[in-house]
Amino acid sequence: MEEFNFDKSILVATIGSENGAQPKYNSNGRWFKQDNCGYEGYSEYLVSKILEFSNVDNFVKYSRCIINGKNGCVSDDFNHDNEVFLSFQKMFDMYYGGEFEGKLSTMDSPEERIDFTKNFVFEQTGLDISDYLSSILSLDMLTLNPDRHMNNLGVIANIKSHTFRIAPIFDNGASLCSDLNRFPPYMSIDELRENVIGRPFSSNLELQALAAGISLKIDYDKAFEFLDSENTDIRAKKILIKQLDKYASLLKMNYEELLNSCNEEYVTHRRKGR
């Protein structure tokens, strides 16, 4: 793994979730996140690798690294020139004020909360975030992510052209029970599953994923080939394998989907002259 040493001059002050704030550094167009509660960097890496073997193409790729002597991860900045990340919470605060999730809590069902969010974002940006939410909530169900909230869901705003695009999937470090304070090492995988509380549309990760529709599809052959090559006993890998087995009927690509995926990959490579 690459090693990096930074001083406080590039430490970015960020507000963490209840799962803890990671020290984050920004340098040369890249973001560096240092582990704070467990194995967040490894979880980011594993989740982004699984997305490489999926039908999702709009996500942040993470690599493992050492930051100031501690484990962590690094990724490229996903904003382009004149762009800023506009979270759903910030957008809601701009137009209505208050907590977005507080507003959602007044609604009766995950379906109603999801529909409200999609309509709100469409009214402000013209973007249909149906597939975006479906992919993220399916992923969170798979990876047992308890930390999806309105500050890591959002769009990219171009402040010069006043246009918007859907943000990539990012910030998956709390996945796979990485917080060892909240999910101690002695807990079994079944106990871990029972203790994960979902958000932002339901405390049940599976329920909110089903409410949004399961659009995430994974090439299981490639995913397990990668996992078999990971020579580690870190709990995250074991949890991910169990979760993939559990949701195979929902997430595994069928033959036609695999064929289409291969065809799209071939066309992409041809266009790049490879």
CATH at residue 52: 3.30.200
Name the least confident of 79-93, 95-109, 163-177, 257-271: 257-271
Residue 98 has φ and ψ, to the nearest 5°, of 95, -175
Residue 236 in domain: yes
What percent of the chain stands above pLDDT 90? 84
Which of 90, 243, 62, 66 has the alpha carbon at shortest distance from 152? Answer: 90
CA 110 – CA 51 distance, rounded (Å): 25
H or E element, residue 113? helix 110-125
Which of 135, 205, 142, 200 has the alpha carbon at shortest distance from 166? Answer: 135
How many structural domains does the chain have?
Answer: 2
Average pLDDT, the chain: 91
Let me know whether 69 and 134 are in one domain. no
**Residue 259: its pLDDT value, please?**
62
Residue 188 in domain: yes
Let me know whether 161 and 232 are in one domain. yes
Let me know whether 53 and 141 are in one domain. no
H or E element, residue 70? strand 70-76
Let me know whether 91 and 196 are in one domain. yes
CA 183 – CA 162 distance, rounded (Å): 43
Per DSSP (E only), the strands in 159-272 are: 163-166
Cβ burial, residue 13 (10 Å; 0-12/13-18/19+): exposed
Cβ burial, residue 110 (10 Å; 0-12/13-18/19+): buried
Residue 271 in domain: no
pLDDT beyond 90 at 233: no
- Edge to edge, the sheet with strand 63-67 lists 2-4, 63-67, 70-76, 30-34, 24-27, 11-12
Tokens at residue 38, please? 């467990």
CATH at residue 209: 1.10.1070.20
Residue 274 in domain: no
**Residue 36: its pLDDT value, please?**
92
Let me know whether 67 and 124 are in one domain. no
Band the pLDDT of 121: cuts 50, 70, 90: very high
**Residue 18: its pLDDT value, please?**
47
Q: Are 73 and 63 in contact (CB under 8 A)?
A: yes
Residue 195 in domain: yes
Let me know whether 120 and 246 are in one domain. yes
**Residue 8: its pLDDT value, please?**
83
User: What is the average per-residue pLDDT within 116-128?
Assistant: 98
End position of a domain, from candidates 46, 76, 106: 76
User: What is the domain extent for residue 161?
Assistant: 83-258
pLDDT beyond 80 at 20: no
Please count the residues of the chain.
274
Residue 267 in domain: no
Residue 197 has φ and ψ, to the nearest 5°, of -110, 120
End position of a domain, from candidates 76, 91, 117: 76
